[in-house]
């Protein structure tokens, strides 16, 4: 990368060290070495608050059931986050304001808008985030991420730095031109799609490129060769318990999907 340092972003606040997006995980990630920033997911509550949860379906990552947008902030904060094995921990979810107060001011904070198959909810979540950031002095370090096109378009229209997350490599130049016209800062490409032509197409329009799920050193070297500018420091599969825990996570997700219906 011509000597350029690639900042690392602690995914889900450093999920290798504790429950997803928990105070414990964040504290350990910040102590574990130099970071460029922190990433977490945000869900809207029934009463308009923003809670740091990876999934709007509460049974996936908490002791609660139902959907985040159906419960008040008080109800959500009374729940407990699940650890990597699906057990209840002592950690409760964090509000977005709490997270921002905990992250040192020099670090970027990426907030991924979560709204399961609900474009309108994604838009309301962006609006709620814009209201939070309007009263904070550190709003310029926030970057809005989402798989929802409408969410990043809305964020950009409200003057927020925004980045679309993509799992598809179709027509990268067309994607780049749309992103530029929408006012996005860049695109986050999942690591299994990241290659030199995609990076070149996105950068040709002046966009920055980040990637996620960069774990072993060989993956970091591959990312460096194509010039991706940032990476999530998610733990390698072996630190997540390997195939056994992956299978358990799949079972939990299926069970949670049923519980949320």
Q: Say which CATH number the domain at 213 has.
A: 3.20.20.190
Structural domain total, the chain: 1
Summarised one tens digit per residue, pLDDT across range 42-79 is 999 999 999 999 999 999 999 999 999 999 999 999 99
- Mean pLDDT of the region 24-35: 93
Domain residue limits at 18: 8-259
In a domain, 1, yes or no: no
Element (H, E) at 210: strand 208-212
User: What pTM, to 2 d.p., does this model score?
Assistant: 0.85
- Mean pLDDT of the region 85-95: 97
Distance CA 222, CA 111 (A): 26
Summarised one tens digit per residue, pLDDT across range 140-167 is 999 999 999 999 999 999 999 999 999 9
Do 259 and 63 meet the contact criterion of CB atoms below 8 Å apart? no
- Mean pLDDT of the region 95-106: 97
Distance CA 132, CA 49 (A): 9
In a domain, 118, yes or no: yes
What's the pLDDT score for residue 176? 97
- Mean pLDDT of the region 188-194: 90
Mean residue pLDDT across the chain: 86
In a domain, 2, yes or no: no
What's the pLDDT score for residue 53? 98
Kindly state the percentage of the chain with pLDDT values over 70. Answer: 79
Joined tokens for residue 218: 């060989």
In a domain, 53, yes or no: yes
């Amino acid at each position: 990368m011509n000597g350029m340092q690639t900042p690392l972003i602690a995914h889900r606040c450093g999920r290798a060290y504790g429950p997803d997006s928990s105070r414990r995980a964040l504290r350990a990630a910040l102590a574990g070495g130099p970071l460029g920033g922190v990433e977490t997911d945000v869900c809207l509550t029934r009463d308009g608050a923003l809670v740091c949860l990876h999934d709007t379906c509460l049974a996936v990552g908490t002791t609660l059931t139902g959907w985040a947008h159906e419960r008040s902030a008080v109800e959500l904060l009374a729940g407990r986050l699940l650890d990597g094995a699906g057990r209840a921990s002592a950690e409760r979810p964090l509000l977005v304001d709490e997270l921002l107060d905990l992250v040192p001011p020099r670090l970027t904070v990426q907030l991924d808008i979560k709204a399961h198959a609900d474009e309108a909810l994604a838009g309301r979540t962006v609006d709620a985030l814009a209201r939070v950031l309007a009263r904070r002095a550190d709003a310029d370090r926030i970057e809005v991420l989402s798989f929802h096109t409408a969410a990043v378009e809305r964020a950009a229209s409200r003057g927020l730095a925004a980045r679309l997350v993509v799992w598809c490599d179709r027509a990268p130049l067309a994607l780049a031109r749309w992103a530029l016209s929408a006012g996005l800062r860049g695109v986050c490409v999942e690591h299994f799609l990241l290659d030199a032509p995609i990076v070149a197409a996105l950068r040709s329009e002046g966009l920055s490129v980040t990637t996620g799920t960069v774990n072993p050193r060989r993956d970091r070297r591959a990312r460096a060769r194509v010039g991706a500018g940032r990476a999530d420091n998610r733990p390698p599969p072996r630190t997540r318990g390997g195939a056994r825990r992956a299978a358990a996570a799949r079972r939990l997700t299926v069970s949670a999907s049923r519980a949320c219906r």
